[in-house]
Structure 1
Amino acid sequence: MSSEVKILLEEKQLKKLQSVIYDSLIDEIKRARQDVGLEKRYFNKRELTQYLHISNNTLDKWIINGLPKVNIAGSVRYDRFAVDRWLSENSNGY
């Protein structure tokens, strides 16, 4: 036996509920994008390993094999766009 609950809302209440749900979803999407680094363009080495979901040793091998990096006054950063392009160009078609 299933019981069903119906909630009746006035138009104004429905619009407010929709707005709250929409805003919550947008906030969570933004938070998720930040968590995986999609809101950031330049990474340090630790951030890049997290973004790529790889170990530091794997990243070191990729750097030796030509993974692009930016060195400014001794500070090394990795451009997300250049890294993504390099990965695409150097993948084995997987």
Structure 2
Amino acid sequence: MESALAQPTRLIEYPSDLSTCNSLAVDGKQLLFLRSQPGGTQFVVVLGFYAGQKEDVVTKDLIEPVNEASREAIACRLVQDCGQAHILFL
């Protein structure tokens, strides 16, 4: 029997410098993604939604992954900005 309780949000830790990321506002959250360099096949790697920072030995940025149900809608929004690039979700 499946539990009726919501699953806890899984956060991914990234190094503290996300300055090379592009961002897009989605439902009041900041979606972070990276674009490949111009030339050749274009890729967009979606990291997820920015969720704050964690201070440990090294300060790390926390990213909330994009859930499966939202991926198609987000891909459609990214196509407007990124053209025909291949979109990958982590």
TM-score bracket, normalised by the shorter chain, equals: under 0.3
Q: Which structure carries more helix by proportion?
A: 1
Of structures 1 and 2, the larger Rg is shown by 1
- TM-score with structure 1 length normalisation? 0.25
Q: Which has the higher contact order (CA 8 A, sep 6+)?
A: 2
- TM-score with structure 2 length normalisation? 0.26
